[in-house]
Amino acid sequence: MAMSGGVDSSVAALLLKQKGSLVVCKYCYYCFIGYNVVGFYMNNWDAQEENSQYCNVNNDFNDVKWVCQHIGIQYKQVNLIRHYWNEVFSYFIDGTNNGVTPNPDIMCNQRIKFGIFHSLIINKYRMDAIATGHYAQLSTNEQGVRLMKSADHFKDQTYFLSTVSQSSLLNTLFPIGHLTKKEVKEIAIENGLHRIAKKKESMGLCFIGKRNNSNFMREYIDGEEGLMINILTGEIMGKHNGHQYYTIGQRSGLGDGNGPLFVINKDINNNTLFIGPSHLLYSREIVTSKPYWIRNITSKVLQARIRHQGELVQCRIEDYEYGLRVFLSQPIRAVTPGQYIVFYSGEECLGGACIKNGVMAESANDSHSTVNEEKQHVFVMRHGERLDSVDSTWLLNNRDRPYDTPLTGKGKVEAHQLSLKRYSDKNIVHVVSSPFTRCLQTAQEVCRATGVTGIVTRNILSEIMTRGANMIKTPSVPSESNISNYDINVIEFDTKPLPKYPETIDESIARYKAAIQEIADEYYPNNVVLVTHQYGVETSMLLDTGGNNAVYEASYCGNVELIREGRDGEWKYASKDRVYKYDNVF
């Protein structure tokens, strides 16, 4: 059993230990037949050599020992540091220096967990199979083993397992694939594993840990200053400090008067970034390297996604040189070389291929017009019930950040229930939030309900900057440490400053209107949920110029659905009721 010290692998080990049955035996009256489980901890990173305070190798191994002793199984530690450095970390550094965005998680599964480690367990330790805590399932038919999505589609990890070989899957078990994350935690608590169930879930790679990704990369990668050039005009817009620190689709930090500019392409030979408006990021065709197929496929019409928990898109594949050409039924944003496109047929994950490049339309204008005709839905939502509204002592106990109150338990529940009701069938692709904790908690519930990977923060969606919002002093953006006690997955923190303090009501209205338009344009034509504050939701009611200008109160979790036909289309409301309140939905 591959164990990490987390709740998923711990419960997987427990379930295997418990699995078995009493049978009549000729040597004794009864005999228990089940799995002989041994827990193996993989040490992949030399935290001591790096003197790292971010990678908790020793703490994780101590947790593995404690779990194994608690459930009554043996435990061992295997040292794979050299293999991990050579097979995964060097791949990550080399790819980044060569201008692509590698996917170490996929490579770790392919080369380490289901490669070197799998071989070690089967051949050296003479085990019959390995088991992991991945959220995935296996099915077997006459064609061999099939990799299937997990019961919990939000946690499903088949994307990261898409290049694991058929031979490795033949003697692999995924004991928790039929469970949801909530059920896994409940099983842990019911069996005395409270310590592990309450442990904060690990995000990202061990060698980065809780560090800022850019700061970590600068420790191992030397970037040089280069130019940022507008891909449409050829104009030099500014400078960057190293192409390695940017990926396709990332904000450049610059604008051209019509909105923000994004990284469209790289010229690593000349250390140049080409930047442009977001509509140039969309591709309808992808060229890949040689694909990894888990089993033989016959159909050329499949589904595909280019990132974990990303939207599944219909596609058609063709053999092309030594790889594939993938024709998409709809454009996908920020197709990034080095990342993987993974193919599905219904619930089955068929395999994947490394992306070489995305192919845009023949010209920028064609690309714009292709995408520009599509309908976009934007939901503007207020956060759930805030704690200081029911507990007056919170303000007294948090004088340093009185404006950054979290949600109540009721607020989290209502945010999740409303999101299930309103958004689960709306094909939401992005969740963008104000940086304040109550909004981030609300946004996390939206992600859970919609299957979106994580939250993007935009400071322009912040609370109104007045003393009336408990801002007795100039506020600061909640940092990663401020939200570390909450189960929140932020995948991109805004680096821009907060709006000026103090601001007038009219200034806040203008800010919110600009924010909704800017973020909608940034992610067009994808559907987006914006989680903000009361004035932000109420301001959104002013965008439908075709109706009356009545503004209704936006209560907790109140939300407005805006629709436009094309990028330049006028905003319309989806309903004459304007604001959907929690009480109206249930």
Q: How far is CA 158 from the centre of its chain?
A: 14
In degrees rounded to 5, what are phi and psi of residue 437?
Answer: -55, -40
- Report the C-alpha gap between 54 and 90 in whole angstroms: 20
Nearest to 585 by CA among 415, 447, 440, 402: 415
Query: To which H or E segment does residue 8 belong?
Result: helix 7-18
**3-state DSSP assignment of residue 558:** coil
What is the number of H-type helices and E-type strands within the chain?
A: 18, 29
Which tokens sit at 214? 């850019």
Do residues 475 and 501 make contact, with C-beta atoms less than 8 angstroms apart? yes
Which tokens sit at 131? 């088991």
Side-chain half-sphere of 541: how many Cα atoms within 13 Å?
20
**3-state DSSP assignment of residue 217:** helix
Distances (CA, A) of 452 to 67, 118, 156, 336, 438: 31, 31, 12, 19, 18
Q: 447 an active-site residue? A: no
Distances (CA, A) of 550 to 19, 518, 569: 62, 23, 21
Do residues 325 and 285 make contact, with C-beta atoms less than 8 angstroms apart? yes
Pairing relation of β-strands 226-230 and 272-276?
parallel
Task: For 13-53, give the DSSP string.
Answer: HHHHHH-EEEEE-SSSSEEEEE---EEEEEE---HHHHT-S
Do residues 136 and 179 make contact, with C-beta atoms less than 8 angstroms apart? no
Q: Which of 55, 108, 439, 557 is catalytic?
A: 108
User: Which residues have a Cβ under 8 Å from the Cβ of 271 and sit 6 or more positions away?
Assistant: 224, 225, 226, 227, 242, 243
- Report the C-alpha gap between 74 and 72 in whole angstroms: 7
Exposure of 538 by Cβ count < 10 A (0-12 exposed, 13-18 middle, 19+ buried)? buried
Nearest to 146 by CA among 443, 345, 300: 345
Nearest to 349 by CA among 165, 161, 169: 161
Beta bridge partners of 236: 229
Q: 206 an active-site residue? A: yes
**3-state DSSP assignment of residue 569:** coil
**Amino acid identity, position 357:** N
- Report the C-alpha gap between 300 and 315 in whole angstroms: 8
- Report the C-alpha gap between 140 and 156 in whole angstroms: 19
Q: Which of 25, 31, 68, 206 is catalytic?
A: 206
**3-state DSSP assignment of residue 551:** coil
Do residues 499 and 536 make contact, with C-beta atoms less than 8 angstroms apart? no
Residue positions annotated with a catalytic role: 108, 206
